[in-house]
Structure 1
Amino acid sequence: MTTTSLPAAQAADRGGPAQPLLTVRDLKKRFPVRGHPFECEKKFVHAVDGVSFSVAKGKTLGIVGESGCGKSTTARLIARLVEPDSGAMIFDGDGVGEFGGLALKAFRRELQMVFQDSFASLNPRLSIVDTIAFGPRAHGVADADARARALLARVGLEPGQFASRYPHELSGGQRQRVNIARALAFEPRLLILDEAVAALDKSVQAQVLNLLQELKAERALTYLFISHDLHVVHYLSDDVMVMYLGKVVEIGPVERIYGQAAHPYTRALLSAVPSMDPARRTEKSPLSGDPPNPINPPPGCRFRERCPSAEAVCAGREPALLPTILPTMMQAAAGDAHQVACHMNDPLSGHTQAIARVAA
């Protein structure tokens, strides 16, 4: 009788496929700003301001938004590279750190990150095989070197040729494959990819994306994928979360977001994606002005100063993240999966377009 071994992620599954792997609740982080020594009032950058979301097991959540919207800070807060001011995280049903029974050390073994700068992420004094084996070896794993060589082969780098090399002897794509192999050395369940393919040329980028898809299926991995490239996010993601100035403005299945974006900021982002179709080319900028100062965000909706549909209610009250207004049949099929933070989506907000949509 033969038995088949499950991937580490499936073997460690505690709550079944219906339970989200990661749930983030009201995550906040403010960074102090150095001001004049005689100023009485301290100023803070509101980098992440009340972010909440869930990631299903075996899925990829893409996080998009302009530079400075809080994407990378959110990733670092989840990985606890930066300590949050407030908020809670639940990993496969267990609270993390002071919020439950999963210690930070155990949580960090379940989660790994791959960064944009492949060279800065590697120790120039360690050979490639020592780089991958370093973590498992430090934790007393007996077969750390053998595991490192196997992972090196799995990401497409022949161990006999690359194991003894150093980071400066590799190309950018090869170094990023090493970073992926190192991230997999602990057999994590969640991988955070922060602009992991942004610095690669298109042909190498496609190869690395295909590798990530294969590894996700083989090892039952869950991804948080951060990128400015909306084409790449569309290809890799199952769900998409759009952030603006530290807030989540829209979240939902990737095809719903790309096909029926409900927030004006999301529509502006998608309209800026280059198109090969002459009939769909953007002839004028979809947005005017710059994002507000994150040190002193405006009251109400933070996007209202750049929104063509802004009304008085947008300045008076912050919009809640609610399921989208859809016809009854479509809403029943969509459930609460597609949510948007916009007064035009709230029938009780008093915004004229929300009232018109409900009446229709």
Structure 2
Amino acid sequence: MKTDDTIFPAEDKGGPAQPLLLVQDLRKYFPVRGGLLQKEKKFVHAVDGVSFSVAKGRTLGIVGESGCGKSSTARLVARLMEPDSGSMIFDGEGVAEFGGIAFKDFRRNLQMVFQDSFASLNPRLTIGDTVAYGPQVHGVPRTEAVKRAHALLRRVGLEPSMFASRYPHELSGGQRQRVNIARALAFEPRLVILDEAVAALDKSVQAQVLNLLQELKAEHDLTYLFISHDLHVVHYISDDVMVMYMGQVVEKGPVEAIYENTRHPYTRALLSAVPSMDPDHRTQQPPLAGDPPNPINPPSGCRFRERCPYAEAVCADKIPYLGAVGGNKEHVVACHMNCAASGHSRAVGAPAIEEEVAA
């Protein structure tokens, strides 16, 4: 669907080889309110040095346990929260205070779909007005905005003659989420962040929305940042996967590399916890023991070491860096077992870890 380029310019400044989004060393600490006698300020390390890139036309899936920093990272990228430090480049240009693309233009090129489809919609606006409202605020005449809204509603499977005059409470959860997707696309964005966008839907509706997202991605040349706790869904929709633990990236790579050549013990634990219908591949023992450490005072070295069955002294002494797996620069993992010079007894290759996991 074409629009006036003076209102919604869709530029590709750097070509397909340049990442659409490049995030470097993003950090966000939340202060903890203490008592009157508490002299030292404490902070929750929600996002602690996260760096990644998203290629144009691809989907990056972000996974991890609750509280690992997935949603906080998404909100920092969308600038719904201000980061404490770090930089962000959108199609070769810095964002807002980093110099380059204006904040209003950046926000128009990036849209977000949240988990709670009902809370995301204004209960006093009809569905048609909800989708048309954003473009009108950005200068699109009402007639054109309504026309665009009706076309998008029709594309997401909601016939305007039946749904445009309805209110959010008159729709099902799946229908409301389709409205949220249509509203996001009304700006003709280049990057869409989907934060648990299908988590609240039942499986049949979930599959329909996922297929719709795939079709819209191809039609509108979209790039997705897809956040989910459902590893099956991430496997289906993602091109690349980033695994987070306690505010840090522990493994990142192409989806098949992550699922078939998992290198980090935490990623292995996540995958082993996924239910299987095959009786020969059912998990007999809990993949992880214990609870995540306190995010106010995270462990030294590797933050996963207190729950890792392969932890050694080096894991407490040194922070592992993201290194390439077997020379594959696209697949990186932050684990001392992946570094020959780390001093870990199972470093690089370590057949023992493969044998124990298989056993």
TM-score tier after normalising by the smaller chain length = over 0.9
Alignment of 1:218-229 (within 5 A): 218-229=219-230
CA contact (8 A) 1:191 1:222 kept: yes
Equivalent position of 2:313 in the other structure: 312
Q: 1:5 to 1:109 in 2, by over 3 A?
A: closer
Secondary structure of the residue aligned to 1:196 is: coil
Which residue of 315, 325, 329 maps to 1:336?
Answer: 329
Match for 2:296: what amino acid? I
Alignment of 1:1-360 (within 5 A): 11-142=10-141, 143-324=144-325, 326=326, 331=327, 335-354=328-347, 357=350
Instruction: Give how far 1:244 is off.
Output: 0.1
* Structure 1, gaps ≥5 residues long: none
CA contact (8 A) 1:10 1:220 kept: no
Secondary structure of the residue aligned to 1:152 is: helix
* Structure 2, gaps ≥5 residues long: 352-359
> For structure 1, which segment, 21-30 or 98-107, has the greater mean C-alpha deviation from structure 2 after superposition?
98-107
> Can you list the C-alpha shifts for 1:262-299, whole angstroms capped at 9, x where unaligned?
00000000000111111100011010000000000011
CA contact (8 A) 1:113 1:192 kept: yes
Instruction: Give how far 1:104 is off.
Output: 1.0
Percent identical pairs in the alignment equals 76
Match for 1:353: what amino acid? R
Instruction: Give how far 1:90 is off.
Output: 0.5
Instruction: Give how far 1:186 is off.
Output: 0.5
Secondary structure of the residue aligned to 1:352 is: coil
> Aligned partners of 1:210, 1:155: CA distance in 2, in Å?
11
How many positions carry a matched residue from both structures? 347
Instruction: Give how far 1:321 is off.
Output: 0.6
Instruction: Give how far 1:348 is off.
Output: 1.0
Match for 2:129: what amino acid? D
Match for 1:32: what amino acid? P
Q: 1:319 to 1:219 in 2, by over 3 A?
A: same
> Aligned partners of 2:124, 2:14: CA distance in 1, in Å?
42
> Aligned partners of 1:213, 1:7: CA distance in 2, in Å?
25
Runs of 4 or more consecutive aligned structure 1 residues displaced over 3 Å after TM superposition? 4-11, 355-358
Instruction: Give how far 1:5 is off.
Output: 6.8
> Aligned partners of 1:259, 1:222: CA distance in 2, in Å?
24
> Aligned partners of 2:156, 2:281: CA distance in 1, in Å?
38
> Aligned partners of 2:163, 2:21: CA distance in 1, in Å?
35
- For normalisation by structure 1, the TM-score amounts to 0.94
CA contact (8 A) 2:338 2:349 kept: no
Equivalent position of 2:354 in the other structure: none
> Aligned partners of 1:104, 1:350: CA distance in 2, in Å?
46
> Can you list the C-alpha shifts for 1:215-260, whole angstroms capped at 9, x where unaligned?
0000000000000100000000000000000000000000000001
CA contact (8 A) 2:338 2:348 kept: no
> Can you list the C-alpha shifts for 1:136-184, whole angstroms capped at 9, x where unaligned?
1111102111111111001000000000000000000000000000000
> Aligned partners of 1:349, 1:273: CA distance in 2, in Å?
31
Instruction: Give how far 1:83 is off.
Output: 0.4
Instruction: Give how far 1:97 is off.
Output: 1.1
